[in-house]
Amino acid sequence: MLDLRLLHQALTLARHRNFARAAQALHLTQPALSRSIAGLEAALGERLFDRTQQGIEATSFGQMLLARAQPLLDSAASASGRGQLWWPALV
């Protein structure tokens, strides 16, 4: 089963395009975020991000997953009755 927390972390990384800044926004250490993303990639059997000198860029598979991740997170928040999301939308 896919962990929604990991999807949230992947979305945050995509938004910040930098592991250090994304980790700071998530209140994690950079190594912890790197391990989480590596674990998610291993579980899915696909690379989600390319690491370049300009920053992090989602692969085509990563783009597809990220496009579906926000609605999943929104749906989970709605189902839990939270009313407000605890993660920011990528709008």
Strands of the chain (E only): list them.
Answer: 49-52, 55-58
How far is Cα 70 from Cα 74, in angstroms, rounded to an integer?
A: 6
User: Quick check: 10 pLDDT over 70?
Assistant: yes
CB contact at 8 A, 46 and 61: yes
pLDDT digits (tens, 9 = 90+) for 42-77: 999 999 999 988 899 999 999 999 999 988 888 887
pTM above 0.85? no
| Burial environment of residue 68 by CB neighbours within 10 A (0 to 12, 13 to 18, 19 or more) | exposed
pLDDT digits (tens, 9 = 90+) for 71-84: 888 888 777 665 54
